[in-house]
Amino acid sequence: MADPQADKAATTADETVKAARVTVRILEQLATHDEMGVTELARETGMNKARAFRYLRTLVALGYAIQFEGSERYARGPKMQALARVIGQSAEEGVVDLARPVLQRLHETFDHTFNLSLVYGDSVTIVETLPGRGLVGIVVQVNQQLPLHSTAAGKLLLADRLERSGDLPCGELERFTPHTILDREALRRDIEDVVRKGWADAPEEVVLGINAVSVPIHDHRGELVAMLTAMDSIQFITREPSQTLVETLRDAAAEVSAALTV
């Protein structure tokens, strides 16, 4: 015979799990939108408007949502804002933690040096590196800003800024090698090519004999937050990098970007 108490307990447990899933889904929607209406939230979470309203009223009471006065529009509440600030304090570490196993896998697949760089405002810094496994390895310094116009990772930031503002930052372009691009029109053409391709390289532009290929990592807002880079002698990463390397890097960056997406 069926146990009514057991059936009731199982039903209650199922309802609790469903309620938790719906609550998390609403929080995800509020976290990724400046504001949303009850109808939008109901549609995105697959429930009717009345039920969505009940969940929202509970979240408002708990401080995780706010309702705009005189409307049916809702936004992130003070408790969610506080939670975001706490998470934001370790956001950089989060990117590194997510990218580290991907970086390790790349390092096991190819003999090149692999770097992870993070975007800090209008600068780029290498924060993690795995040296190449060739007879002659490349060692890079971490926690130092990269020149933007002559490094593959730096060019990705310039490409992002060009797409957003239609212009490139002003300032003197420092020469590192005879191949460093110093002419601003030539640099613009090079960065426009980066925008078109979706990846960047910098053959012998900062160190003679060295080439690098970089791909971008974006967060849930589509913001450029980091770059994966392969570096090696130009003998091994030629002026026309292999499609296999480029595509493998792009797949790896897409994997990290997906992990950063709510």
Determine the pLDDT at residue 142: 86
pLDDT band of 114, cuts 50, 70, 90: very high
Tokens encoding 16: 């609790």
Q: What is the pLDDT of residues 13-33, one digit of tens each?
A: 677 888 888 888 898 888 888
Tokens encoding 84: 């975001």
pTM of the complete model beyond 0.85:
no
Q: What is the mean pLDDT of the chain?
A: 87
- Residues 6 or more apart whose CB falls under 8 angstroms from that of 148 comprise 123, 124, 154, 155, 157, 158, 169
Determine the pLDDT at residue 10: 47
Work out the average pLDDT over 175-192. 95
More confident site: 87 or 18? 18
Residue 75 near residue 66 (C-beta atoms within 8 A): yes
Percent of the chain with pLDDT over 90: 55
Q: Can you tell me the distance from the alpha carbon of 31 to that of 75, in angstroms, rounded to the nearest whole number? A: 8
**In 42-191, beta strands by DSSP E:** 65-67, 73-76, 113-120, 123-130
pLDDT band of 202, cuts 50, 70, 90: very high
Q: Can you tell me the distance from the alpha carbon of 3 to that of 213, in angstroms, rounded to the nearest whole number? A: 64
Residue 205 near residue 180 (C-beta atoms within 8 A): yes
Work out the average pLDDT over 171-178. 92
Work out the average pLDDT over 186-192. 96
Write out the H or E segment, with its range, that includes residue 132: none
Q: What is the pLDDT of residues 22-79, one digit of tens each?
A: 888 898 888 888 888 999 989 988 889 999 899 999 999 998 899 988 888 999 887 8
Work out the average pLDDT over 217-245. 93
Q: Which of 74-78, 84-88, 91-95 has the lowest mean pLDDT?
A: 84-88
